[in-house]
Structure 1
Amino acid sequence: MVVLTKMSIEASAPRPTRVRRSPEAARENILAAAEAILVEHGPQALKLADVAKAAGVVHANVIHHFGSIAGVETALMERMIRNLADKVITGFNTGGATPGFGAQALFEAFEAKGAARLAAWLELTGESRRLTVVRNVVDEIIQTRLAQDLGLDREKVVDFILLNIILAVGTGLFGPTLSDLLGRPPERARELALEMVQGRISALGSKG
């Protein structure tokens, strides 16, 4: 008679297949898992163990690629900015977008996808100074076909982008809550902010 012990059962159980990924794919897998946690639970829920579990990797794997949870947060913010910029720049260069398109995409990312909460978290924890990707993205947007067609100088474009980011962060953090407290629909704050952006676009166009 064969006696099955707990040890023999565990030894005979099939082990999960280990997925081999390139360093780039491994980082992307971890960041995708971190973004899912961010959107659902907020930046305070980003813990090394939870990110590793969601990504299906061991704790040490996350540390190997990012060094710490702060490294994950910074890389995630850079990834979100890069993806947003690629979307906007492609639209501007192909002629399939207006200046307002960029603002719409920015507000969507900062409100619905959690970028505003993560940006605020990085500022509070002193990590926001590492986001040099923002400067690079601004330079790329200035070189797009749409920006060139508007004929605006660098300072005006940078000021316009700065206004967009400030409004998007504020709306993403407080827009729905404040709108509700004041008896307005949750989306009203975003509508007002976009109206302000559109007014600025019209003013720049008339001066250009």
Structure 2
Amino acid sequence: MSIESSLPRARQRRSPEASRDNILAAAETILLASGPQDLKLVEVAKGAGVANATVLHHFGSIDGVQTALMERMIRQLVDEVIAITATNGDAAVLAGDGMRALFDAFEAKGAARLAAWLVLTGEASRMTSVRGAVQEVIDARINQVAGVSVEILGDFILGCVTFALGVGLFGPPLSDLLGKPQGRARDVALGILQARLDAATV
């Protein structure tokens, strides 16, 4: 073993933005693995490979981490849907690929569990910042969408998020309970949303 390889490596110094991203990535990993109940300061700091004080420095508290994580996840989801529409200029694409991408993200990433946890613990007011992020994306790109008004697209995105949250939380267990095949709740929700957009753009 060389002398160089035996020396301890200098700790990598991240920019504030990179440090925040690293902490949020660790928090998201915990959310996916075991749910929002394990989004605790010690666990997030350990997952990010930083001291507890570093998490507090960037977010103020574990509550701040949870809020920032939810805002980032929602922003990414809505941005993805709007980006698909802006690229194609076709409302049908939003209703198809965009909706499916949104549902996939909510079902796979556990965002629905975190949103429900905030509501059930009386912390729904944190969603104000999420609403602001959604509105920011809509305002920035809505004029690029062909054939769909601001109000209609805003309502449509609201419907997508609402249905996706419901499917992400209750789709599989309710399907089992009612003797329906897996994925049936998702299919029903997508059908309702598609019909709503079709009726609005006729």
Classify the TM-score, shorter chain: 0.7 to 0.9
CA distance in 1, matches of 2:160, 2:199: 15
* Count of residues in correspondence between the two structures: 193
Letter of the structure 2 residue corresponding to residue 182 of structure 1: L
Q: Which residue of structure 1 aligns with residue 67 of structure 2?
A: 74
Q: 1:59 aligns with which of 52, 58, 71?
A: 52
Q: Which runs of 5+ in 2 are unaligned?
A: 1-5
Letter of the structure 2 residue corresponding to residue 34 of structure 1: A
Q: Which runs of 4+ in 1 moved over 4 A?
A: 13-16
Q: Which runs of 5+ in 1 are unaligned?
A: 1-12
Q: 1:102 aligns with which of 86, 98, 102?
A: 98
CA distance in 2, matches of 1:55, 1:161: 33
Q: Which residue of structure 2 aligns with residue 172 of structure 1?
A: 168
CA distance in 1, matches of 2:56, 2:102: 30
Query: What's the CA shift for 1:136?
Result: 3.8
Are residue 50 (structure 1) and residue 25 (structure 2) matched? no
Letter of the structure 1 residue corresponding to residue 94 of structure 2: P
User: Percent same amino acid among aligned pairs?
Assistant: 55
Are residue 29 (structure 1) and residue 22 (structure 2) matched? yes
Change (3 A) 1:47 1:164: same
Change (3 A) 1:96 1:30: farther
C-alpha RMSD over aligned residues: 2.2
Task: List aligned pairs for 1:127-142, cutoff 5 A.
Answer: 127-131=123-127, 132-141=129-138
CA distance in 1, matches of 2:68, 2:180: 36
Q: Which is worse superposed, 120-129 or 47-56? A: 120-129
The answer (yes or no) to whether the contact 1:142–1:157 under 8 Å persists in 2 is: no
Letter of the structure 2 residue corresponding to residue 198 of structure 1: Q
Query: What's the CA shift for 1:89?
Result: 2.4
Per-residue CA shift, 1:136-162, capped at 9, x if unaligned? 4235335536864124242x3332222
Q: Which residue of structure 1 aligns with residue 149 of structure 2?
A: 152
Letter of the structure 1 residue corresponding to residue 121 of structure 2: T
CA distance in 1, matches of 2:15, 2:51: 16
Secondary structure of 1:130's counterpart equals helix
Query: What's the CA shift for 1:88?
Result: 2.0
Structure with the greater alpha carbon radius of gyration:
1
Query: What's the CA shift for 1:102?
Result: 2.4
Q: Which residue of structure 2 aligns with residue 121 of structure 1?
A: 117
Q: How high is the TM-score relative to the length of structure 1?
A: 0.83
Q: How high is the TM-score relative to the length of structure 2?
A: 0.85
